[in-house]
Amino acid sequence: MNSDKKMIFQKTSKNTFLFENIDSEKTINEILGNDIINENIPDFPDVPENEVVRHYLKLSQLNFSVDNGFYPLGSCTMKYNPKINERVAVNPGFLNTHPYFDEKHTQGNLELMYELGEYLKDITGMDAVTLQPVAGAHGEMTGLHIIRKYHEKKGNTHKNIIIMPDSAHGTNPASAALAGFKVVEIPSDEHGCIDIEKLEKVVDENTAGFMVTNPNTLGLYDRNIMKISEIFHKVDAVLYYDGANLNAIMGKVKPGDMGFDIVHMNLHKTFSTPHGGGGPGSGPVTVKKRLAEYLPVPVVEKKEHNYFLNFDKPDSIGRIHSYYGNFQVLVKAYSYIRMLGREGLKKSSEMAVLNANFMAARLKEHYYLPYDRICMHEFVLSAKKIKKDTGVSAMDIAKRLLDYGYHAPTMYFPLIVEEALMIEPTETETVENLEKFCDVLIKIKQECYDNHELLHQAPVSTPIRRTDDVKAARQPKFNFFNDFNND
Amino acid sequence: MHFFPHLPENEIKILKELNVQNINELFSDISSQNINPELKIPEGMSELEVDRLLSSKALKNNISNVLSFAGAGIYPHYVPSVIDEISGRGEYYTAYTPYQPEVSQGTLQTIYEFQSYICALTGLDVANASMYDGATALAEACLLALANKKGKKIILSAGVHPEYKKVIQTYLSCTDAEIEEVGLNEHGTTDISKLKTILDKDTAAVVISNPNFFGNIENEYNEFLNLKNEFGFIFIGSVNPVAQFVLKNSKHYGFDVVTGEGQPLGMYQSFGGPCLGFFAASSKYARKMPGRIVGLTTDADGKDCFVLTLQAREQHIRRDKATSNICSNQALCASRATMYMSLLGKTGMQNLAAVNLKKSRRLLSILEKYGFKKVFSAEFFNEFTVSHNQAEDIYNKLLQKDIVLGVKLSDFHGGSYNDKLLVCCTENFLDEDFERLEKSLKEVIK
């Protein structure tokens, strides 16, 4: 490694953080003895506190984040994360509660969870809720287990197929497989929506459920959704709403009113809780009444003025987390919902959709927009023609954006659009930011035709250049203590 | 309070540019019977009002005077100030999963360091970027075993955390796995002679916890290693990372996969979430593992750098054939744990372990003075099981004084455990805390 980019393991000193000034080694030996302790304890580096602070502060400066700038990563809803959420979540009154405390010491937590559950039911148009799933995919798994249990209880064990569109996010088929289902994908029609004719051909007695986002991953709202839900309900299949794109429709339409039976939400997308570089998130699930008995245990309930955890649910799918979910994330989402209120939530979705349409309209003169109609909170451009003309790919364009101080859009997804660039501005950006970003994308297009080599080389001004991913996979190195054994 | 910055004139300008009359035209795909439903959510509030509201919620927990010895998976450790300060930087917590390595080296290197620390702790070759929590990490380890062995049987030690067992049951409920449990012996550790009687060639995995749920150190590593070599099952351990720093690791036990709950490494109790699942395995399972893995490589200029790697295992590539459906994990918690282990270093981690050992024995000696007995003869780390014929009564009376004397084991294991409590003690207790406990015990036990 270069000397300015040392890893923590390459720094050493004698100064470290101590809890009590005792002879640690002697204490451990005396209490546990040789037969129990490891004679070769792990060789962690001893680094003084100020050097630890500098090391991770320097590393943080190599990251691009929402706090750094515009982050139009499609389907990920990188909206601003209000700072007040962070403050209220670290109140010691929340932080120092143990999951097994007596209810007299958790009434505040339980009240907050109960109320948050009520809000999420209201937004999604559902009757019951669990806050236990800690990520979107975890919510999906929960929902699919509920579908399985529902059919089992009705004696319909032959129902083993989950249908989803070919534009579905990868977690959808993976979650369905994890819950023991077979996956059947159906193609989209020329409007980017579900092809009803093809759908009617594949839905039959063995169909257990249908998983879909609406708006879909192209950012388009499926006008036929009511008809689709009818087709599935006719064969007693369960409709699952993947809430990845809920930011488009909060307060505008409830998935429950579209005919859905199960919804998962991503609080780290729609409800402004930060992504943390990949988590912790939170993926609550709401369901219609007839599925409520299958929700994971425990469920937060209210009796007169007291809140309690109800474990007595004999038909529950069981537990899916050690405790009750990512509680701190729930606090942040609660704070966000209360700040915005019902009007603010609705307006957020309206502004997210307004911004996406504004950008799509500006950019479609310059980039191919395969599905040219009113979009919702995001839209997908294709760099197919640019690639044919100049050899510059969607990847090259995305990488060039990094040079201009932006995060890249989502690339090559959904899989049904060639050279896809999926752009989601969110509601929290100013008009100036949106215009500037469009101008840069237009400028980059010109660069493609004027100097394609520059695009293949991009990025040139980031902390590192393009990475050798093949080498990373073929000569795997993911553990310093093995990788630098001889240093 | 809201976070959409357009002035009304901006809105009008954009609508005009889009050639629509009003915002609802953009939502015209939604059927008229469903559009703009009524919401019952209260009206918005200012930041100040929300700040007050949330403070009042936290106050309702009424815990400002609580002294708690509860552990059972979530432990009251001290969180050094450095952890909040550095992990609280927006560059860490407002970034997404590091899909663009050129602008994500901070998160990627931190996670690489995390993986290295977990490998060093567990004695294994490869660790992933984190799982949701200790329970789901363990359940995914069982799924890995089922996918890579012909056998269908998963044997769980009765020393595995009861909630973890429930999560495993849920995760495995859609497979044809058979879960069997092996009980504990009189020392409070896995009954090896019973284990021998249920092991067979259909056994895909054996799962133990170290220390186990009752606090006991499962120290028969030679026996486990021999059984593993004889029967060829995948051996899975669920460990406490602080204890693991000084206890024998997979190099002695022969674990193929080690998982655990990383909350003790710089996370607050926060009602059990966010947690930090960790997952490490021997190199032959590197390409079978769930979750993100960060690898070291070079960039176009030949500079060392980090990327997400071995992605052919994952859901966004492999879809329904993926090794797991996990996408988001607990990355910020993994970053906190990395900062924590770096801050403490070898000397600090050793000191942490020593202080935990010392103070938990101080707690035991206080309890023994008041008639409590340690139930099991096995050695313990920072948590142990005690019994008292008035356990429930003492527990409740102490609770009136805001002292939580651990967790009641009857909550997990039913009536026969009515007289037993599981208590823990960490570095986070000072003389005044022990004195307060002793004074209160004196008052409630007459």
Q: Which of B340, B370, B402 is the last residue of a domain?
A: B340
Q: How far is A114 from chain B (nearest CA, A)?
A: 12
The string of pLDDT tens digits covering residues A152-166 is 999 999 999 999 998
Residue in B117, B167, B361 closest to A321 by CB: B167
Q: Which of A118, A104, A76 is nearest to A334 (CA)?
A: A118
Q: Which of residues 16-45 of B touch A (CB under 8 A)?
A: 17-18, 23, 25-31, 33-37, 39-45
pLDDT band at A364 (very low <50, low <70, confident <90, very high): very high
Let me know whether B73 and B87 are in one domain: no
**Residue A12 confidence (pLDDT) above 90:** no
Domain ranges of chain A: 3-60, 84-340, 342-471
Task: Kindly tell me if the per-residue pLDDT of A344 is higher than 70.
Answer: yes
Q: Using the beta-carbon criterion (under 8 Å), do A122 and B34 form an inter-chain contact?
A: no
Judgement on whether residues B330 and B357 belong to the same structural domain of the protein: no
Residue B202 lies in a domain: yes
Mutating which of A10, A38, A59, A475 best tests the B interface, going by the most B Cβ atoms within 10 A?
Answer: A59
Say whether residue B8 is in contact with chain A using an 8 A CB cutoff: no
> Are B155 and B214 in a shared domain?
yes
Give chain A's mean pLDDT: 95
Question: Which tens digit of pLDDT belongs to each residue from A206-221?
Answer: 999 999 999 998 999 9
**Confidence check: pLDDT of A485 > 80:** no
Best residue of A24, A26, A194, A307 to probe chain B, by most B CBs closer than 10 Å: A24
Decide yes or no: CATH 3.90.1150.10 for domain A342-471.
yes
Residues B258 and B387 in one domain: no
Structural domain harbouring B366:
67-79+353-444
pTM above 0.90, yes or no: yes
Res A106 pLDDT > 70: yes
Q: How large is the average pLDDT for residues A86-115?
A: 98
pLDDT at A487: 43
Residue B432 at interface with chain A, using a CB cutoff of 8 Å: no
For domain A84-340, is the CATH number 3.40.640.10?
A: yes
Sorted by sequence, the CB contacts under 8 Å of residue A189 that are 6+ apart come out as: A195, A196
Asked if the structure places residue B345 within a domain, the reply is: no
- Is the domain of B115 the same as that of B205? yes
Question: B362 and B384 in one domain?
Answer: yes
**Residue pLDDT, tens place only, A137-150:** 999 999 999 999 99
Tell me, yes or no, if the two domains A84-340 and A342-471 fold the same way: no
Q: Is the CB of A17 less than 8 angstroms away from the CB of B1? A: no
Q: What is the pLDDT of residues A394-434, one digit of tens each?
A: 999 999 999 999 999 999 988 889 999 999 999 999 999 99
- Partners of B52 on chain A (C-beta within 8 Å) are none
Domain assignment present for residue B316? The answer is yes
Q: CB B273 to CB A337 under 8 A?
A: no
State the pLDDT at residue B107.
Answer: 98
Q: Which chain A residues are closer than 8 Å to B36 by Cβ? A: 251-253, 346
Shortest Cα distance from A456 to chain B (angstroms)? 11
A-contacting residues in B 306-335 (Cβ below 8 Å): 307, 309-312, 314-322, 324-333, 335
The minimum CA-CA distance between A200 and chain B, rounded to whole Å, is: 22
For the domain that residue B359 is a member of, what is the CATH number? 3.90.1150.10
Q: Do B89 and B143 reside in the same domain of the chain?
A: yes
Tokens of B81: 């100030």
Residues B239 and B167 in one domain: yes
Decide: B235 and B255 in contact? Cβ < 8 Å: yes
Among B318, B340, B362, which residue terminates a domain?
Answer: B340
The residues in B 277-306 lying below 8 A from A, measured between CB atoms, are 286, 292-301, 303-305
- The answer to the question of residue B25 being in a domain is no
Instruction: Quote the crossing angle between the two packed helices A107-124 and B47-59, to the nearest 10°.
Output: 130
| Counted domains in chain B | 2
Using pLDDT thresholds of 50, 70 and 90, give the confidence band for residue A4. low
Q: Is B308 inside a domain boundary?
A: yes
The answer to whether residue A258 scores a pLDDT higher than 50 is yes
B116–A480 CB contact, under 8 Å: yes
pLDDT digit string (tens) for B225-254? 999 999 999 999 999 999 999 999 999 999
Does one domain contain both B141 and B254? yes
Residues B204 and B310 in one domain: yes
Residue B316: per-residue pLDDT: 83
Interchain CB distance below 8 Å, A19 and B102: no
- Interchain CB contacts (distance < 8 Å): A and B: 679
**Assigned domain for B392 exists:** yes
Task: Identify whether residues B258 and B284 lie together within a single domain.
Answer: yes
Asked if residue B159 belongs to a domain, the reply is yes
Span A61-72, average pLDDT: 97
pLDDT above 70 for A350: yes
The answer to whether residue B197 is domain-embedded is yes
Q: Is the ipTM of this complex over 0.95?
A: yes
Give the pLDDT score at A3.
44
Contact with chain A for residue B54, Cβ under 8 A: yes
* Positions of chain B with pLDDT lower than 50, given as ranges: none
Regarding whether B304 and B245 lie in a shared domain, the answer is yes
Mean pLDDT of A21-32: 96
